[in-house]
Amino acid sequence: MSQTDKMREFILSYLETQPNQVNLATVRKLIGYGKNNDYSAPNILNELLVMDQKHEAILTAIFDVDFVDGVKLFNNQATRWLTPKGINYLQELKHGSASQPTIQLSTNNKNRAAQKYDGYLAQLISAKATMQTEADQVTLQEFSLDLRHLLTDNKKLECGALNKFSPFVQRNWQELSTPMTPIFMELSRRFLFDKNYDA
């Protein structure tokens, strides 16, 4: 998955959790949370502009981005950020098919694995209700996105790959330890037991 696709998945995943909040305050929060993933404000704003209703029609709103005068948002009284096309696009990003070639030979195994991981990640996301702050809820979402990439990208695990989430996980260990168990078991199985794993 390309860096642009990862950033788009982050943006759309966050916006999808913000119904009835189609406004610039949500965009400001998105930019603030994006800094945790090293996404700059201009990059996020450019992606929002490209995905808006006037261009790719992934978002319900229209953006007018001017780095001198600021950002204008036209929401047309929308109650959701994502259009039906945007919801489908986000699902494609989550399952890794947005930038894949159209001919795939082993989609059944890949889809089965992605569905299995979706179950694990859904259990993890369900802990969102127990989070004390909105910042922790968003961090949980970012954490689950990074875990999804580790589970589905089949790249080698790097030391400290999830280091930025260490304070969050320690703070919320009581709520997260049970749903994280199958995810960490899968990652450790690959790392410790797979002979063909490129470590």
For residue 102, the model assigns a pLDDT of 39
14, two tokens: 């966050």
Digit-coded pLDDT (tens) for 101-114? 433 444 455 555 55
The pLDDT, as a whole number, for residue 104 is 42
* Token pair for 162: 């999830």
Give residue-wise pLDDT tens across range 153-196. Answer: 766 777 888 888 899 999 999 999 999 998 888 888 887 877 66
pLDDT, residue 36, reads: 76
What's the CA gap between 40 and 155, in Å, rounded? 25
The interaxial angle of helices 3-16 and 24-34, nearest 10 deg, is 140
Residue 73 · residue 27 · CB < 8 Å? yes
Residue segments in the chain with a per-residue pLDDT below the cut of 50: 98-107, 199
Distance of CA 85 to the CA centre of its chain: 17
Domains and CATH numbers, the chain: 1-100 (1.10.10), 104-199 (no CATH)
Structure token digits, residue 22: 């189609």
Please give the backbone phi and psi of residue 94, each rounded to the nearest 5 degrees, phi first: -65, -35
Looking at residue 85, its pLDDT comes to 94
Cα 170–171–175 angle (5° rounding)? 90
Q: Which residues of 89-99 are buried (b: 16+ CB within 10 A; e: fewer)?
A: bbeebbbbbbe
- Residue 192 has which token pair? 């410790």
Best CA proximity match to 23, nearest among 68, 53, 67, 63: 63
Query: Is this model's pTM higher than 0.85 or not?
Result: no
Which residue in 143, 121, 140 sits closest to 131, CA to CA?
A: 140
